[in-house]
Amino acid sequence: MNREELLDALRHGSLDRDTKLMIIDLLVLSDDPKLEEEIGQLVSDWHQADQAIVAALLHRFDEIANKYNEQENSAQSKIRKETLSLADDVSREQEIKKVRDIIETL
């Protein structure tokens, strides 16, 4: 991980402020390229783990949202069917009433 990638990961990563400052201090004060490489790898691994967690959470959120939408559509469909059934029942009752009225007038 080069310095720009490292700085970008530190700038946008989820590490707390104190940890970021500590890493920056270690990088500035260290002349050991191996330590810089290890710090870069640590930050890179942390950043990748963050991205994996975010991806998993977004996937789970999408699953929940889809399930909610399916249930919402199912409920709306059930309401429509029940409404149509009630309308048919009312229409049938009105037709029966009309027939009774005709019979009674005879």
List pLDDT tens digits, range 43-87.
989 989 999 999 999 999 999 999 999 999 999 999 999 999 999
Q: Cα dihedral angle (94, 97, 103, 105), rounded to 10 degrees?
A: -100
Tokens 């009225």 found at: 101
What pTM was computed for the model?
0.63
Please report, as a single letter, which amino acid is at residue 17.
R
33 contacts: CB under 8 Å, gap ≥ 6: none
